[in-house]
Amino acid sequence: MTGVPVVLLHALSLHAGMWREPADALRARGHSVLAVDQRGFGTTALGTADPSLDVVADDLARTLDDNGVDRAVLVGSSVGGYTAMAFLRRHPDRVAGLALLAARATADSPEAAARRHRFADLVQQEEPRRQLLAQTTPMLVGATTRATRPEVLARVLADVEAADPAALAWAQRAIAARPDSTDVLRTARVPALVIAGTEDELVAAPESRHVADTLPYGRLVTVPDAGHLPPLETPGAVTDALHAFLTEIGAPAW
């Protein structure tokens, strides 16, 4: 792979396929794109490591090595954003740019962490898992998507239900244990973009604004009619925002 590639990191419960439409559109516009399945999802095995986003970040470093990539622009959605922050902390010289979607800079509160651990416990039990996923999955998309784009919600539900319960539990515990990344973002002297859906019910607008304001070169773009998963809900708007961002910073350098 040549140039400075764009690495797409998926949201919790999903896989690299969530980026299909933006990835294809960015490639058509001349960008070098690598969409990655994170540990336990898609084609990537869960393994035996203890839950930690540092483990996922180091997985990503090895993936870049395997593809002959030294530095990349990281684009992370939800847990993909947390992976990008962990990577920035552990491998800062390998980040050429950063785009974060639906990810907060702060650590979980004790209450939020407890909810994640409760989710991890329940998702590994067959009957509670069905009820839990039915209750929580619709919150991943916005009200407009639920009302007018039912096929998107159906796609998300299918992917969530197909995910390995052990991987879901592992990832929730890893997210619950993540540190506050405000200090890491504050020292990230790289071009940065924050994309927020106006209907995100999981990451509030002030939290996205905080991320953008913390990044020295951060800029916030809000996407109408999208919730927690803009790459799936409004792929055209996300593609346009990423293309403009990548063009400004000159990635890739063919």
Whole-number Å distance between alpha carbons of 174 and 111: 15
- Specify the pLDDT at position 253: 38
- Specify the pLDDT at position 4: 79
Average per-residue pLDDT for the chain: 95
pLDDT tens per residue across span 85-120: 999 999 999 999 999 999 999 999 999 999 999 999
- Specify the pLDDT at position 251: 54
- Specify the pLDDT at position 252: 46
- Specify the pLDDT at position 185: 98
Whole-number Å distance between alpha carbons of 225 and 105: 23
- Whole-structure pTM value: 0.95
Low-confidence ranges of the chain (pLDDT < 70): 1-3, 251-254
